Structure 1
Amino acid sequence: MSDDARAPEPETETDPVLAKLDTLPVKPGCYLFYDKTGAAIYVGKAKSLRSRVRSYFQEGGSDSRYFIPILRKIVRDLETVVTSTEKEAAVLENELIKKHKPRFNVKLRDDKDFLCLRIDTKSAWPRLETVRRPSPDGARYFGPFHSATSARRTLHLVNKHWKLRTCTDLDMASRRRPCLQFQIKRCPAPCVYEIDRDEYAEQVRSVSLFLEGRHDELTGELERRMKEAARSMEFERAAIYRDQLKAVESARESQRVVSVKDVDQDVVGLYREGSIAEVELIKVRSGRVADTVSFSLRGVELPDEEILGNFLAQYYGDEAEVPVDVIPDEILLPVLPDGAEGVSEWLGDRRGRKVALVVPQRGPRVELLAMARENAEHAFKEKQRASDDIEARLDDLRERLRLPSLPHHIECCDISHLGGGDTVGSIVALKDGQPDRKHYRSFRVRTKTEGDDYLAMYEVLARRFRRGKTAKEAKEAEVIAEEEAEAGVEAEAPPSSGKKAETDWDLPDLFVVDGGRGQLGVALSAARDLGLHDLPIVGLAKERESVIGEKMVDRVYLPGQKNGILLRPGSSSLFFLARARDEAHRFANHIREKLGKARRLRSEIEDIPGLGDAVRKALLRELGSMAALRAATDAQILAVTGVTKRHLTAIRKVIAGPGVEAGAEGNAPPPEERKDEA
């Protein structure tokens, strides 16, 4: 190929971008960079679009962000959106990031689930419950809590000391006698008994004050109620208020006092090592630490200012995770994000009151910020240590089994049947030692195996490996096509098979079969028959350690090796293999039981071809049973709603009419009444 026919150099491709730089407006707005495929790779906001965007393409500029050199090489197009204010630019940037999910923008990932506590004060008998996603239904929401455990622990504390119902509206409407909660004096049973609504509303208000963190106000009210009950000689009621006071004091003692300011604060700490960062958010309410939550950011090539700006936009911009009423008075940050004034104004509009972004220089707030950074560093190192531990275990497994690479993706197969029937095969997947359920697969064995596990395993593995081979070939073809396209070669379109490439069937780094040398031989045959000679396959069997059967041990069998490798309990090598084996066994039994249940509940009428669900249900509903259908005449069957002569013909092909022997042609007329076909 001549030099003239080669693809254009990158400088030529970026000319359209450079041509747009001189026409950019000196106004606030958002800008989007696109690569050669037309995908957005970065979204940003600016006070002045012209100066901001031009700074990306100035040689020897002061922009030291990590991804700038990469961005200059791959950007092929530019788009800008002008806004009237910086606040509108901040809002638009958040929406564009959510829409395009650019490569170089921060992807906020929380290591914990958000849970909120909900109480509907408009209900006749409000109850406290956990919800995942708040909705604008007029109810009150408290949270979000940094973990499900924290939320449920709080719910348990409330249910223990404040007598609110715990049953659902449906249970309450159908209940005819009090439940166990009434017996242990944790519910007044409004479902059955007439109770004082004012007293119940008082409990609801106390719960709201407790969850809002207004402990001083709640303590005053509880002390007043306790004294009034004592003066009225209602000592049981006074004891209830006493226990509630102890619960409030216990909750207050578990919170660290960090400030005496009567303002709500969110403190953001940042710790990073290269492109991996950890953001720690400490929620301070009325001078006390109320909650903490950490976020892991990977592949971050942005400076601290942009990381924090994207974090604020994503975290506080999601109304489902952060309701408006939990946005604080001020947010303490190590550095101000880009467009801080616009972000502050946008948060203030969401909250309905002013929200300040503060970089403290002295005083207690500096100590708060230092504490947040320490927590971020601790969370970073703990997660890094957990990741390193998994890598060490995988490396130990690689060495013991002599694998070519770390087995990040492990699959295991198991066969399950019941007396030779309902035979199924299961394949489960582990990703870095954790179950990867989206890659679980189940197979119903089609071959009549008569309880032959080897035959069933060969069929299951052949079907799985065949799809894996198809996915591998499809990916290899894509790589070749991309390389030829980059070289300027006009490749011919591959013949289409009419089926979507099964790219979700990638072959694993290690395949495990539940069994010894026999099962391993079957798996190797299934793979080699398809030309998959490089797929690592091992067998895991639980066998007797000695000839007298002292105890059971796990052994791993490798191809071409007679004796298995003994894996002692507690070894890191056994950890992943045993987890995969046990999960495959559980999944196979689950599928087999599900299949057997469906078969047992199956009606004989479903074996009659030509009948739809509606017709089958009508026949059973009006005739009563299969026995009645067998005894029914043609006229009785045709009298069923929705049954036609076509349906009757289909039935008579399977079920003979009354007085006709099995195998006869239904209610056919006698020979003398037939027309001569000669």
Structure 2
Amino acid sequence: MNKITKVGNHLNLEHGIKVILLELKNIPKKPGIYKMINSSDEPIYIGKAKNLYKRVLSYTKANKLNRRLITMISNIQKIEINITNSEVEALLLESNLIKKFEPKFNVLLKDDKSFSSIYISTNDDFPKMITHRGMKNKKGKYFGPFTSKGSINKTIETLQKVFLIRNCSDNIFNTRSRPCLQYQIKRCSAPCVNYISKVEYLEGIQNVINFLSGKSQNIKKILSDKMYEKSENQNYEEAAILRNQIYAISNVITSQNINYQNLKNLDLIYMIKKQNHCVVQMSIIRNGSNYGSISHFPKITDYGDDLKENEIMSAFLNQYYKNNDAPKLIIVNVTPEQKSLLEELFSKQQKHLVKIYKPLKGFKLKILNDLEKTALQNLNKKLFQSTSNKKNLFNLSKLLNINEIKKIETYDNSHNQGTNAIGAFITFTENGFEKNLYRKFIIKGLIQEKTFKFNDDYSMMEEVITRRFKNNTTIQPPDLVLIDGGKGHLRKVQDTLNQIKNHKIFVLAVSKGRDRNSGNENFYYGDNKELFLNKNDPIRFFLQNLRDEAHRFAIGYHRSKRTKALFKNPVDEIQGIGKIRKRNLLNYFGSSNGIKKASIEDLEKVPNINKKTAEIIFNFFNGS
């Protein structure tokens, strides 16, 4: 565990300063990052500097240190450095290392996942339109980001209804011999079976691109002209379809359009800090449309009241735009520390000029201040939840006679008669469910075993616990492990933790109880001791909630694995067959079944398939 010495221990502060002075002998006056390491060999703070020597030296001036820095320095055992070529490079490395190690004294962006975008595969003959999250390394067009899953799904659904664009994978598209359900419900024009010409289909794609590029009124005019033309020619049924399409498009436009004058692409960021809590409210504007608003709650230390607002804003921007595209204009209510440096970094990353701007008057200040009320409401709601969460953690620690519970990990497993076996855990702190600390595991040993027992939960739990805690230094261990199981599961997890020398972690098991009904659970800990809780005890509801969230997360992952297995193509398992050869084979034979029936001579007729490869494919399907 990462134990932190509380503020006020003068001897520890003196020791920390001595460590710094000793380390300074080997620290150059160059740009780079520095890591403050504690006695458990864990980074407790990571910082960057233009001049490493000068920056680290500043920590030795005891009279200028606030409570947060005094506590941090009191826990230093050594300092590690990485020299970089420039301060901008150091800023980027700092962000990467903070994400990896999550040091206690850094500001941490809890949910640093990128948002979803709409992706159109314009390089395909018949492009698809799907949601995309992550690196934008595929060729095509991206529109977003959308902060709301509901918003992006509604937009795609509407555009599919209007322009009949496919959303299937290339594998499914290349192997269709008849239209799928999407065609039947009038959301696709079935280009897979040539029900639409390439020219006509690409016209629909261009309309989608124009709409998402902010030319929505142009699209409405095109559809309106077509509707009146059909009506004049007495094609009333087709005119009615076009009327419905115009209505659907208008609904999307109304929900996204707010008058931002000539501002087309920008992010609005409003930050409020109260003691150790902070909210960053964001609105994302792209192509003149509002793609949604979202609240972020950066994690600041127990001594967060010592942190300045410009420090928090700087840390937030650096971590947020590591995974998300920065627009040309970022409007903020707090000017970040290192503003010029951040602008330089973002401009290099995005390959266009990025400006961070704090307005003092005018329209930009007005639209920024519109976020203040929402930000304040969300922060107050978070403060209320935090108080409730702290109370539950405190009361549970008293019941179990544990000094302090700050973090709980809850584990669950799932499989279907031994297939697609997975394990998972969720994380809970005073901030609630920490979804960026949820983890999934594919059960490797059990999948390979031929004699898998249906109820072999013990082995599954042993593997997951071992993989989670053995040699894992990137995620801090919890104070309490909660498992879904009885006394046997409790012993298995305790034994596993003892074997990997993590015996200090407290384990609590929750079993289904009589009739497997909610409210009849039994709770076990220690040497099979039972924790007795009344049916209406808030702690019982709290533990049920943790178990149910872990179950939801594990089941969701298991279902996705099972669905992927159902649609798995046997061609994927053939050694030496990549995407291009696979596409050529499926285009030539129509399906994996067609490939299976083909002779070596037939296989050789496929582009990019020589005799040796043809023999490999033939032998794969025919068992030679």
Q: Same fold (TM over 0.5)?
A: yes
CA deviations over 1:339-358 (Å, ceiling 9, x no partner): 21121112112222211111
Q: Counterpart in 2 of 1:11? A: 14
CA deviations over 1:445-476 (Å, ceiling 9, x no partner): 99xxxxxxxxxxxxx8453343455478x5xx
Q: What's the secondary structure of 2:63's corresponding residue? A: coil
Change in 2 beyond 3 A, CA 1:118/1:503:
farther
1:34-53 aligned within 5 A: 34-53=37-56
Change in 2 beyond 3 A, CA 1:48/1:245:
farther
Change in 2 beyond 3 A, CA 1:34/1:463:
same
d(CA) in 1 for partners of 2:185, 2:144: 28
The 8 Å contact of residues 397 and 572 in structure 1, kept in 2 or not, is answered as: no
Change in 2 beyond 3 A, CA 1:90/1:115:
same
Shift of 1:330: 0.8
Shift of 1:585: 11
1:108-507 aligned within 5 A: 108-110=109-111, 114-226=115-227, 237-255=238-256, 257=258, 259-300=260-301, 301=304, 302-318=307-323, 322-323=324-325, 327-389=326-388, 444=456, 461-467=486-492, 469-470=494-495, 474=498, 499-501=499-501, 506-507=506-507
Q: What's the secondary structure of 2:131's corresponding residue? A: strand
CA deviations over 1:480-513 (Å, ceiling 9, x no partner): xxxxxxxxxxxxxxxxxxx4346597422x7455
Change in 2 beyond 3 A, CA 1:201/1:52:
same
Paired residue type of 1:259? Y
The 8 Å contact of residues 161 and 188 in structure 2, kept in 1 or not, is answered as: no
Change in 2 beyond 3 A, CA 1:39/1:119:
same
d(CA) in 1 for partners of 2:185, 2:85: 62
The 8 Å contact of residues 266 and 328 in structure 1, kept in 2 or not, is answered as: yes
1:470-549 aligned within 5 A: 470=495, 474=498, 499-501=499-501, 506-508=506-508, 511-512=510-511, 514-515=513-514, 532=527, 535-538=529-532
The TM-score normalised by the length of structure 1 is: 0.59
The 8 Å contact of residues 32 and 79 in structure 1, kept in 2 or not, is answered as: yes
RMSD (Å), alpha carbons: 4.9
d(CA) in 2 for partners of 1:132, 1:362: 36
1:593-632 aligned within 5 A: none
CA deviations over 1:386-408 (Å, ceiling 9, x no partner): 44456677899999xx8768999
Q: Counterpart in 1 of 2:478? A: none
d(CA) in 1 for partners of 2:339, 2:552: 53
Change in 2 beyond 3 A, CA 1:275/1:191:
same
CA deviations over 1:121-166 (Å, ceiling 9, x no partner): 1222222222343441202233333243333222222222221124
CA deviations over 1:388-437 (Å, ceiling 9, x no partner): 456677899999xx876899969999xxxxxxxx9xxxx99997698999
d(CA) in 2 for partners of 1:36, 1:504: 17
Shift of 1:514: 0.5
Paired residue type of 1:160? K
Paired residue type of 2:35? L
CA deviations over 1:561-619 (Å, ceiling 9, x no partner): xxxx6x58xx86774577689999999x9xxxxxxxxxxxxxxxxxxxxxxxxxxxxxx
d(CA) in 1 for partners of 2:166, 2:15: 71
d(CA) in 2 for partners of 1:411, 1:12: 38
Q: Could you tell which deviates more after superposition, 308-317 or 368-377?
A: 368-377
The 8 Å contact of residues 265 and 330 in structure 1, kept in 2 or not, is answered as: yes
d(CA) in 2 for partners of 1:87, 1:115: 27
The 8 Å contact of residues 119 and 129 in structure 1, kept in 2 or not, is answered as: yes
The 8 Å contact of residues 471 and 505 in structure 1, kept in 2 or not, is answered as: no
d(CA) in 1 for partners of 2:318, 2:424: 38
Q: Could you tell which deviates more after superposition, 126-135 or 271-280?
A: 126-135
The 8 Å contact of residues 158 and 249 in structure 2, kept in 1 or not, is answered as: no
2:60 maps to which of 46, 51, 57: 57
Q: Counterpart in 1 of 2:560? A: none
The 8 Å contact of residues 467 and 502 in structure 1, kept in 2 or not, is answered as: no
Change in 2 beyond 3 A, CA 1:288/1:176:
closer
Q: Could you tell which deviates more after superposition, 332-341 or 89-98?
A: 89-98
The 8 Å contact of residues 278 and 294 in structure 1, kept in 2 or not, is answered as: yes
Listed as ranges, the gaps of 5+ residues in structure 2 are 1-10, 413-417, 444-453, 459-484, 556-624
Change in 2 beyond 3 A, CA 1:147/1:333:
same
Paired residue type of 1:537? L
The 8 Å contact of residues 258 and 368 in structure 1, kept in 2 or not, is answered as: no
Change in 2 beyond 3 A, CA 1:93/1:581:
closer
CA deviations over 1:94-134 (Å, ceiling 9, x no partner): 23434544332222122988333322112222222223434
The 8 Å contact of residues 114 and 132 in structure 1, kept in 2 or not, is answered as: yes
1:651-670 aligned within 5 A: none
Listed as ranges, the gaps of 5+ residues in structure 1 are 1-7, 414-421, 447-459, 475-498, 539-555, 557-564, 590-678
1:94 aligns with 2:95: yes
Q: Could you tell which deviates more after superposition, 176-185 or 79-88?
A: 79-88
Q: What's the secondary structure of 2:246's corresponding residue? A: helix
Paired residue type of 1:336? T
Shift of 1:269: 1.4
d(CA) in 2 for partners of 1:197, 1:269: 46
The 8 Å contact of residues 89 and 342 in structure 1, kept in 2 or not, is answered as: no
d(CA) in 2 for partners of 1:138, 1:19: 52
Change in 2 beyond 3 A, CA 1:314/1:202:
same
The 8 Å contact of residues 275 and 299 in structure 1, kept in 2 or not, is answered as: yes
Change in 2 beyond 3 A, CA 1:40/1:133:
same
Identity of aligned residues (%): 28
d(CA) in 1 for partners of 2:547, 2:341: 55
CA deviations over 1:496-551 (Å, ceiling 9, x no partner): xxx4346597422x7455029xxx9x989x97xxx727x3434xxxxxxxxxxxxx
d(CA) in 2 for partners of 1:149, 1:55: 49
Change in 2 beyond 3 A, CA 1:403/1:339:
closer
The 8 Å contact of residues 166 and 188 in structure 2, kept in 1 or not, is answered as: yes
Q: Could you tell which deviates more after superposition, 350-359 or 148-157?
A: 148-157
The 8 Å contact of residues 31 and 80 in structure 1, kept in 2 or not, is answered as: yes
d(CA) in 1 for partners of 2:167, 2:442: 36
Highest RCO, 1 vs 2 (Cα 8 Å, sep ≥ 6):
2
The 8 Å contact of residues 343 and 356 in structure 2, kept in 1 or not, is answered as: yes
Paired residue type of 1:44? G
d(CA) in 2 for partners of 1:358, 1:127: 37
Q: What's the secondary structure of 1:110's corresponding residue? A: coil
1:521-600 aligned within 5 A: 532=527, 535-538=529-532, 567=535, 575=541
CA deviations over 1:608-667 (Å, ceiling 9, x no partner): xxxxxxxxxxxxxxxxxxxxxxxxxxxxxxxxxxxxxxxxxxxxxxxxxxxxxxxxxxxx
Change in 2 beyond 3 A, CA 1:437/1:341:
closer
d(CA) in 1 for partners of 2:75, 2:427: 32
The 8 Å contact of residues 271 and 278 in structure 2, kept in 1 or not, is answered as: yes
Shift of 1:204: 0.9
Higher-Rg structure is: 1
The 8 Å contact of residues 33 and 82 in structure 2, kept in 1 or not, is answered as: yes
Paired residue type of 2:531? I
Q: Counterpart in 2 of 1:33? A: 36
